[in-house]
Amino acid sequence: MSDSETAGASMRADLLDPSAPDKTMASRLAILFAAAFGIWHIATNVYLNEPGLWQNAIHFGGFAFLAAITFSPFGRRANTPFAWTIDLAYATAIAASAMWVAGAENYIYERSLAVTGQGWQLNWVDWTAGFILIFACIDLSRRVSGWVIPILVILSASYILFLGSYMPGVFRAASLPLDDVLFRSLFNDEGMFGVLAGISSTNIALFMIFGGFLVVSGASHFVIEISKSVAGRVKGGAAFVAVISSALTGTISGSAVANTASTGVITIPLMKANGFRPKFAAGVEAAASTGGQIMPPIMGAGAFVMASYTGIPYSTIVAVSIVPAILYFLSIACIVRIEAVKRNAGAEIDMTIDRGKLVSGGLVFVIPLGTMVWLLLTGVTPAYAACWAIAALIGTSWFTSLIARFVPGDSFEPVVMGPKKIIEALVTGVNASVLTAILLVTIGIMNNAIVTSGVGNGFSLMIVQWSQGSLVIALALIAVASLVLGMGLPVTAAYIIIAILTAPALAGIMADGIVVEQLMQGIADPAKSALFFLVDHPNVAKVAGGMSNAEAWDLVRSIPFEIAVTIRPVLVDPTTSLTFLLIAHLIIYWLSQDSNVTPPVCLAAFTAAGIAGSRPMETGFESWKIAKGLYIVPLLFAYTPLISGDVMEVMQIGVFSLFGIYATNALIQMYSEGPIGILEICLLIVGAALAYWPLMLLANIAGAALVVLVMVWTRMKAGRQAGRAEAA
């Protein structure tokens, strides 16, 4: 299951469902093809080592074939012989075109050099294959995710073909010939079969397949049982079970909607039986499932894309994301605790733990994930680690039957990964990868247009101008842009587009803080101070001798964008600049998640509402309130060394931020361990501010003490009120 629900259900929804009864011949053939395609993804990343263009073209060709026959445009007539003939012919043409393009690159160069001595010459077959692929990207992305991506692709292609020459100011771009645009879209590293397609073919698809193996092997049983054992006896424990299980399941599914649907059918009824309001139960599940996208070690597709764009190792990105992910889930736990006390939720319900599911399911969850994490820490590629994790899971599953005999469960049937189950797991993973594979290749067309035209610099300049160098305004602009794009795009697609356009600007604004510090101290090096003479500002005369903080910021904010990108690399250490770029990407990735839980379009919340029987829009607002960590933690990224600090600094920020997060949630709910009044509100505001204050230990301790004081005081007041009510 994926985020493709936005496009509506396919008329051939059961085509790739191995468990569907009475499978047709077409379904059997499609399942065999999908299983073989999954095996190819494993083989190509371990043994085959095809050239990158070939690997990406085969990857897209296979997924385009599956998308074309699964998401038929014929509606109720999709299963007629005519519809099948057209869809199969179309799917075959796309796959053949992808193979032709992969094989034609060297021939195009050789022919062009022989004929013209320069450039490239496309023959009629190249033109036909290219146009089929471009059309397929637009058409298939519409089928799997709606109209937003196709419209953006058409606009971006038009921009470098002719629209750019009519645009004003920094957005003006030269028009390129059609053959130039087609060649760049097909063969550039930023194009269809370039970097983004490589991320999908080498990493994302394999982790989706690994997720399919985890699902089929019964690892989800372990997730629920371990959650019960940890939180089942706490007041409001059912909601904590939802938080923990969704965090663990998020490492499997890679989709907030899929996470909500898979764990929500268990946790939402459990929460309702535990005394929670239906819309709150649904909101907790939606918010917790959204956190699965930021939960190491997989983090959806975010870590792979960040590693590609920043050049920072995948293992480093995962490592720095552990504490932020914990903070997010603890922020949900805080509001669950407040709600449980406020509504007196948490009645005793049956939380019996099935030991068979716990032990046997734990083996096929912990051992493969442990294998993958260990391999990642040794420095191997994520694709290689995922392949061996799959092998470890298959081997581990054969011991589950033996374990179950010694630790019997009430209803546990051990899953042994034999040939049928392996095929089912491969098909499950491949089916979950269709949306991402189609979209990442399609976004490559947009990426090529952005890089070729330089329009990304224009957007960066716009962010800088509108924010006037203010980091908080820049964050607000990016948050609004991510929400708007997220209404029509899957999270990964929205993140990639926004990161391409705004990450350099956001990283630049953070780097300006380093420049200001140097200006305050004075830049004595003539070669460095001379760079500021290009700026028309009276404070330039003070560069060598130093200036006040206000004067330095005034000077920095007046530097034109094209000059700033020259000054920053000279004054800011390259390692620091790279860290700022990583922080910018993490901020954008976190903010891009909010569309899952923020009205008016919040698919995870709507999915949870359907399970809970609550009103969708009310559930959306409830999930938005519960998921406030999506905004708090990015602010910590921007204003504290949560990402760049050493272990002790990160731990100090993480621990004391929890008190600030609790205070923030208490203020939102107007309730702590009991009702809060004006005095408690003031104490919580001061306490939160001091707890969030970066690396000020005495202030942090004072803030935490104020928050604890409010918790104890409101608990005592609530106890006295309950005693008086009982006496009356």
Residues 347/353/354/360 CA torsion (nearest 10 deg)? 140
* Per-residue pLDDT tens over the stretch 90-125: 999 999 999 999 998 878 777 666 555 555 678 899
pLDDT at site 5: 39
Give yes or no: residues 582 and 675 share one domain: no
Q: Are residues 582 and 669 in the same domain?
A: no
Query: Contact 319/289 with Cβ under 8 angstroms?
Result: no
What is the reported pLDDT for 254?
A: 57
pLDDT digits (tens, 9 = 90+) for 298-338: 776 677 788 888 888 888 898 899 999 999 999 998 998 89
The reply to whether 579 and 687 lie within a common domain is: no
pLDDT at 242: 73
Residues 27 and 169 in one domain: yes
Domain that holds residue 56: 3-198
- Summarize the confidence of residues 274-294 as an average pLDDT: 87
Report yes or no: 589 and 495 within 8 Å, Cβ to Cβ: yes
230 pLDDT band, cuts 50/70/90, is: low
% the chain with pLDDT above 90: 33
Residues 6+ away with beta carbon under 8 Å from 345: 235, 236, 239, 274, 275, 276, 339
Compute the distance between CA of residue 485 and CA of residue 103 in angstroms, rounded to an integer: 36
* Residue 217, CA atoms < 13 Å, CB-side half-sphere: 35
Q: Quick one: pLDDT band at residue 650, thresholds 50, 70, 90?
A: very high
Q: Which residue has the higher pLDDT, 604 or 324?
A: 324
Tell me how far apart the alpha carbons of residues 690 and 314 are, in angstroms, rounded to a whole number.
34
Residue 334 lies in a domain: no
Residue in the block written with tokens 């698919």: 603
Mean pLDDT confidence for 605-630? 86
pLDDT, residue 23, reads 74
Residue at which a domain ends, from 532, 563, 589: 589
More confident residue, 248 or 323: 323
Q: Is 109 within the bounds of a domain?
A: yes
Both 569 and 661 in one domain: the answer is no
Residue 9 has pLDDT above 50, yes or no: no
Domain count, the chain: 3
In a domain, 626, yes or no: no
CA-CA-CA-CA dihedral for 378, 381, 385, 388, to nearest 10: -110
Could you tell me if 243 and 278 are in contact, meaning their C-beta atoms sit under 8 angstroms apart? no
Give Cα 257 distance to the centre of its chain: 12
CA angle, 691 as apex, 688 and 692 as ends, to 5°? Answer: 85
Q: What is the DSSP secondary-structure string of 634-654?
A: HHHHHHSTTTTS-HHHHHHHH
Cα–Cα separations (whole angstroms), residue 566 to 302, 471, 556, 559, 725: 29, 20, 13, 11, 70
Rg of the chain over Cα atoms, rounded to whole angstroms, equals: 27
Q: What is the 3-state secondary structure (H, E, C) of 399-452?
A: CHHHHHHHCCCCCCCCCCCCHHHHHHHHHHHHHHHHHHHHHHHHHHHHHHHHHH
Cα 432 from chain centroid (whole Å): 15
* pLDDT at residue 8 in the model: 40
How does 416-442 read in b/e, with b if 16+ C-beta sit within 10 Å? ebeeebbbbbbbbbbbbbbbbbbbbbb
Same domain, 574 and 668: no
Say how far apart CA 383 and CA 339 lie, in whole Å.
42
Instruction: Examine residue 94 and state whether it is found in any structural domain, yes or no.
Output: yes
Residues 469, 563: one domain? yes
Residue 438 clears pLDDT 60, i.e. is over it: yes
* 271: in domain: no
Per-residue pLDDT reduced to its tens digit, 472-517: 888 988 888 887 776 656 677 778 888 888 888 899 889 998 999 9
- Report pLDDT for 109: 73
**Greatest alpha-carbon span in the chain:** 100
State mean pLDDT over 621-636: 92
Residue 582 located in a structural domain? yes
pLDDT for res 530: 87
- For the chain, the average pLDDT equals 84
Is the residue at 273 inside a domain? no
pLDDT in tens, 520-546: 999 888 888 888 888 888 888 888 888
Considering the domain architecture, whether residues 560 and 694 belong to the same structural domain is answered as: no
pLDDT for position 35:
95
Distance between CA 276 and CA 153 in Å, rounded? 44
d(CA 638, CA 660): 16
What is the pLDDT at residue 51?
84
Least confident stretch, 5-19, 112-126, 289-303, 627-641? 5-19
Give the confidence band of 7 by pLDDT, cuts at 50, 70, 90: very low
Is the pLDDT confidence value at 148 over 50?
yes
Average pLDDT over residues 441-461: 83
**Confidence (pLDDT) at 638:** 92
Query: Measuring CA to CA, which residue among 354, 350, 352 is closest to residue 414?
Result: 354
Give 334-391 pLDDT, tens digit per residue.
998 898 888 877 655 556 666 666 666 777 888 888 888 788 777 777 788 889 989 9
Task: Clarify whether residues 583 and 708 are in a common domain.
Answer: no
CB 39 within 8 A of CB 54: no
Token readout for 296 is 């190491």
- Verify that 665 and 572 share a domain, yes or no: no
660 and 584 assigned to the same domain: no
Give yes or no: residues 580 and 660 share one domain: no
Contacts of 144 (CB under 8 A, 6+ apart): 4, 7, 67, 71, 434, 435, 438, 439
Q: What are phi and psi of 550, to 5 degrees?
A: -65, -40
Of the listed ranges 111-115, 237-241, 558-562, 648-652, the one predicted with least confidence: 111-115
Residue 124 lies in a domain: yes
Q: Give the percent of the chain with pLDDT over 70.
A: 87
- Please give the pLDDT value at position 680: 92
How far apart CA 631 and CA 440 sit, in angstroms, is 26
Residue 13 has pLDDT above 70, yes or no: no
Boundary-marking domain end, from 572, 589, 606: 589
A 10 A CB-CB count for 340 gives 22
Helix (H) or strand (E) segment spanning residue 57:
helix 52-70
Task: Determine contact, residues 614/279, Cβ cutoff 8 Å.
Answer: yes
pLDDT tens, residue by residue, 413-427: 667 888 999 999 999
Among 144-148, 257-261, 462-466, 553-557, top mean pLDDT goes to 553-557
Q: What is the pLDDT of residue 6?
A: 40
Of 566, 589, 612, which closes a domain? 589
Lowest mean pLDDT among 57-61, 65-69, 298-302, 494-498: 298-302
pLDDT band at 704 (very low <50, low <70, confident <90, very high): very high
Angle of CA points 308, 314, 320, to nearest 5°? 120
Other beta carbons within 10 angstroms of residue 592's beta carbon come to: 30
